[in-house]
Amino acid sequence: MFKVDRRRMLKNIMLTAVAGASVGQVRPGSAARQQQKGPCKLALEDYQPRSMLHVPETKVLRSRFPAIDFHTHLSWSNRRGSRNELHNNATPAEVLPVMDRKNVRIMVNLTGGYGDVLQETIRYWQSPNPDRFIVFTEPWYEKIREPRYPQFQADQIAWARKIGARGVKILKTLGLYLREQVTTGPLVKIDDPRFDPMWDAAGSLGMPVGIHISDPEAFFLATDRFNERYEELNAHPDWSFHGKDFPSDRELQEARNRVIERHFRTQFVALHVGNSENLPYVSQLLDRYPNMHVEIGARIGELGRQPRQSAKFFDKYQDRIMFGTDAVPGGYDTPQQIFGDPLYEIYYRFLETEDEYFDYAPAPKPPQGRWRIYGLGLPEKILRKVYYENAERLLKL
Ligand SMILES: [Zn+2]
């Protein structure tokens, strides 16, 4: 692209020089026209600047210590008509060789679903490879209208544990999509008391709750020229929670905090660092709630552009931070999540090296925002905990 443009520009300069006599003649796209009308316009989506910095590039093929990827989506439960169906994003035979190459000992498949789908997910991933795959369950939200839902949901968690699920996953469905009549009516709050028996069940069964609520702060602002995620929101307009009846980012965070406070015997893992753009806020919460932990999936773009604050955060909370990637095999519309060697290499480079100003996603353009990141160069003691030991303890391995 750059080469072609450069060649065309040179050709235009040549033509202008040759036709030097024909003063005043304007050829469309020619250098003469550029001189007359100022710089040419370039569409934002076509802009792919390349860094001219001469800085070290370290290739980290394997993590320094074996890793547990705490945040992956090897499968989804897809709604088809009146029932849910398991949709696998890959096969174990496709995933295991990548894990071996990248030193990933265990992958946690958070989106295991519930009921029949959960059973199938466990049978497909976890049962044949119990040392490599762990499956979490999800709430059966469609039943929320039923009067006995609170106890039903708690019983489902107990049943899920019995058939092998190791934790509970909460998608941002809770707080941003689930409504009183499932898809219509007012939004159901994260701290709705109907879920209290479920949180308690998870706690008493030793199942950690991986909870994703809210999203980057820019998703709650207008998608306009001031929005730092303008291109990402343009590519995924349904990720915008600006306006309508959506709660603010802070309201969602505080509803989750009330749940963590109320269910202090349950271990909560705030996925995506909880609020990776506001580490002072997350630090306050970690200080306040001993049953809260965080995971870093899909947020190295945020952590890596505030490397000094992030390094202090990793140092102070080294026993409460978990490695995760939010990997989706074949997730091509979200380059920052495509499962494969390049994804892990970027995370390892971020955590282990002091490299500067590199891409946070394997993509020609930074997909979440126009910035690059800096490595943290974490010491071995912290790496060991973040890669493996913190998750090992929480999952009771
Ligand atoms: Zn995820």
What digits encode the pLDDT tens for the residues 95-150? 999 999 999 999 999 999 999 999 999 999 999 999 999 999 999 999 999 999 99
Structure tokens at 5: 């443009």
Question: Across the chain, how many H-helices and E-strands are there?
Answer: 15, 12
Q: How far is the CA of 168 from the centre of ligand 1 (A)?
A: 13
Q: How far is the CA of 73 from the centre of ligand 1 (A)?
A: 7
pLDDT score of 1: 33
pLDDT score of 36: 60
Nearest to 351 by CA among 58, 100, 133, 52: 58
Only one residue has tokens 């959506």, namely 246
Q: How far is the CA of 271 from the centre of ligand 1 (A)?
A: 8
For 349, half-sphere exposure in the C-beta direction (CA atoms, 13 angstrom radius) is 24
Q: How far is the CA of 172 from the centre of ligand 1 (A)?
A: 10
The rounded distance, in Å, linking the Cα atoms of 326 and 70 is 8
Provide the CA 239 distance to its chain's centre, in angstroms: 13
pTM of the model: 0.90
Residue 367 per-residue DSSP state: S
Only one residue has tokens 């020229």, namely 225
Residue 74 per-residue DSSP state: S
Is 270:282 a contact under the CB 8 Å cutoff? Answer: yes
pLDDT score of 20: 38
> CB atoms < 10 A from the CB of 176, how many?
18
Strands (E), 81-226: 83-88, 104-109, 133-135, 168-170, 179-181, 184-187, 209-211
4: helix, coil or strand?
helix
pLDDT score of 84: 86
Main-chain dihedrals φ then ψ at residue 110, nearest 5 degrees: -70, -35
The rounded distance, in Å, linking the Cα atoms of 182 and 203 is 26
Q: How far is the CA of 71 from the centre of ligand 1 (A)?
A: 6
Q: How far is the CA of 204 from the centre of ligand 1 (A)?
A: 25
Kindly list the protein residues that place their beta carbon closer than 5 angstroms to ligand 1, a single-atom ion.
Answer: 326
Q: How far is the CA of 214 from the centre of ligand 1 (A)?
A: 12
Q: Which residues of the chain have pLDDT under 50?
A: 1-30
Q: What are the residue ranges of helices labelled H in 271-324?
A: 279-288, 300-303, 307-316
Is 271:295 a contact under the CB 8 Å cutoff? Answer: yes
> CB atoms < 10 A from the CB of 52, how many?
5
Q: How far is the CA of 70 from the centre of ligand 1 (A)?
A: 10
The rounded distance, in Å, linking the Cα atoms of 107 and 344 is 12
Handedness of CA 156, 157, 161, 165 (dihedral sign): positive
At 323-359, the pLDDT tens digits run 999 999 998 888 899 999 999 999 999 999 999 999 9
> CB atoms < 10 A from the CB of 2, how many?
9
pLDDT score of 18: 37
Nearest to 214 by CA among 264, 177, 181: 177
Handedness of CA 249, 143, 120, 87 (dihedral sign): negative
Q: How far is the CA of 89 from the centre of ligand 1 (A)?
A: 13
The rounded distance, in Å, linking the Cα atoms of 166 and 202 is 9
Q: How far is the CA of 108 from the centre of ligand 1 (A)?
A: 11
pLDDT score of 9: 42
Query: Residue 109: beta bridge partners?
Result: 72, 135
* Crossing angle for the helix pair 279-288 and 307-316, to the nearest 10 degrees: 10
Beta strand 184-187 with 179-181 is: antiparallel
